[in-house]
Amino acid sequence: MLRYLSMKFEARRSRLFALTFGLTIILCFGSSISVFLIDSSMITIIVLSIVILPSISLLAWIWIDTFYQVNDEYFYYRSGPIKGKIRIQDITKLKVNETSWYGVKPALATKGIIISFNRYDEVYVAPKDNDKLVEQLLSRNSNIEVTNKP
């Protein structure tokens, strides 16, 4: 069996997602500061800490820790707490330069790749270089059908 090096692919980060994440963080901070100024009791501080800090931490984790990896047998994806692996031999189709707005979506940009595997499963990813990821997957499984949206 031919052995391949493991390759890691960074996620593409679009301005739309950056704006959405940024505005959400600003709104979280802004609302917590305004509530704190109105009522600075200890219970308010505790409630804000329990609600706001985990929300901001989750967004930061997703932003910082989104990537994809291909090795001999598996395609791995990770986006903060969302992670998984797909056997490359189970991948049936790649829809390149498309966007999925539902399902498993460990991505931070549009115009990525919809990976179809098994019979009805799909995952949407958005690496910095779609073509490079497609090339790596095809080198490990030449039976994958590829459709490329212009």
19-64 pLDDT, tens digit each: 998 898 888 878 777 777 777 777 777 777 788 888 889 999 999 9
Exposure of 46 in the CB half-sphere (CA atoms within 13 A): 3
Q: Is the pLDDT of residue 4 over 70?
A: no
Can you give the residue ranges of every domain in the chain? 1-150
Q: What is the pLDDT of residue 2?
A: 59
How far apart CA 98 and CA 107 sit, in angstroms, is: 12
**pLDDT grade, residue 1 (50/70/90)?**
low
Q: What is the DSSP letter of 89?
A: G
Q: What is the pLDDT of residue 150?
A: 73
Calpha distance 110→66 (Å, rounded): 14
Residue 103: closest CA among 89, 78, 123: 123
